[in-house]
């Protein structure tokens, strides 16, 4: 799972980062979702534009035109022309194979009308069946489940030591797996997948394969993917199959 695209090679959450991740052969693209002042879906992690653009101010206080006028190059040479993407711009270039994971960053997604508008946008680009929504807020996921039951949900946690019901994926802060290495097994018994919350996973790939994690998150999928494949093959040789997908 590419974390905000390939942000090792490109500025995070930009079309350049997304395209690079697609070229890396990822299985899932993760990005963050907020709403502009005029209610456009925009792909940006922070509540303000200060860290990742040449502007200043709250995302929610700016229109899509104001946001698109900024450079999202994070000060990196050669990327000055990158902009904050609208969700529809990402969906328009989305390849046929990968899945899309949208992290819902605000309580706007507690509003059924906002969730239904997201449903329509995903449906318009025929990506509803390949999208899951993620959040640290279980309430946001419940709101999505109530409005669009067919949209899978993933709960991100840095505290809970065992899986909770009513989600399809657990994004678990990786040290919790050291405290409770049975976490993936317990999730699988409930029909759920597990992906460690670890954007620099390469050093722990053997552990994630051994525990049976279903996916790994990475800031640099170009580097992580071949290493993961090697550990998966080794794990399959030793244990006769299985491992992280």
| 3 in active site | yes
Question: Looking at the domain assignment, is residue 107 inside a domain?
Answer: yes
User: How does pLDDT run across 112-156, given as a tens digit for each residue?
Assistant: 999 999 999 999 999 999 999 999 999 999 999 999 999 999 999
Question: Looking at the domain assignment, is residue 193 inside a domain?
Answer: no
Question: Looking at the domain assignment, is residue 106 inside a domain?
Answer: yes
State the catalytic residue, choosing from 45, 170, 188, 235.
Answer: 45
Average pLDDT on 35-43 reads: 98
Domain that residue 52 falls in:
2-151
Which backbone phi and psi does 41 adopt, to 5 degrees? -80, 120
Question: Looking at the domain assignment, is residue 67 inside a domain?
Answer: yes
- Residue 19: pLDDT band (50, 70, 90) is very high
Quote the pLDDT of residue 13.
98
d(CA 82, CA 74): 9
Quote the pLDDT of residue 240.
64
State the catalytic residue, choosing from 3, 119, 170, 239.
Answer: 3
Question: Looking at the domain assignment, is residue 223 inside a domain?
Answer: no
Question: Looking at the domain assignment, is residue 25 inside a domain?
Answer: yes
d(CA 24, CA 228): 13
Question: Looking at the domain assignment, is residue 39 inside a domain?
Answer: yes
Whether 29 contacts 21, CB under 8 Å:
yes
Mean pLDDT of the chain: 95
| 235 in active site | no
Q: What is the CATH number of the domain that holds 147?
A: 3.20.20.190
Quote the pLDDT of residue 75.
86
- Reference 25, options 6, 12, 7; nearest CA is 6
pLDDT of residue 245 exceeding 60: no
Question: Looking at the domain assignment, is residue 179 inside a domain?
Answer: no
| Total structural domains within the chain | 1
């Amino acid at each position: 799972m590419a974390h905000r695209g390939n942000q090792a090679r490109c500025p995070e959450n930009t079309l350049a980062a997304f395209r690079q991740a697609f070229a890396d052969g990822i299985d899932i693209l993760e990005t963050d979702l907020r709403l502009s002042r005029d209610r456009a879906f925009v792909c940006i992690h922070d509540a303000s534009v200060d860290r990742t653009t040449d502007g200043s101010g709250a995302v929610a206080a700016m229109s899509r035109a104001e946001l698109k006028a900024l450079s999202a190059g994070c000060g990196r040479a050669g990327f000055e022309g990158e902009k904050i993407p609208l969700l529809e711009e990402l969906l328009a270039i989305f390849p046929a194979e990968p899945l899309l994971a949208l992290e819902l960053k605000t309580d706007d997604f507690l509003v059924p009308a906002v969730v239904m508008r997201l449903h329509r946008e995903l449906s318009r680009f025929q990506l509803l069946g390949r999208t899951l929504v993620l959040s640290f807020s279980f309430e946001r996921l419940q709101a999505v489940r109530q409005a669009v039951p067919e949209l899978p949900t993933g709960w991100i946690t840095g505290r809970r030591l065992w899986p909770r019901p009513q989600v399809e994926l657990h994004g678990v802060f990786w040290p919790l797996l050291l405290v409770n290495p049975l976490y993936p097994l317990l999730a699988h018994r409930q029909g759920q997948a597990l992906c460690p919350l670890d954007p620099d996973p390469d050093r722990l790939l053997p552990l994630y394969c051994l525990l049976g994690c279903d996916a790994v998150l990475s800031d640099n999928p170009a580097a992580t993917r071949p290493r993961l494949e090697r550990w998966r093959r080794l794990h399959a040789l030793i244990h006769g199959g299985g491992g992280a997908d």
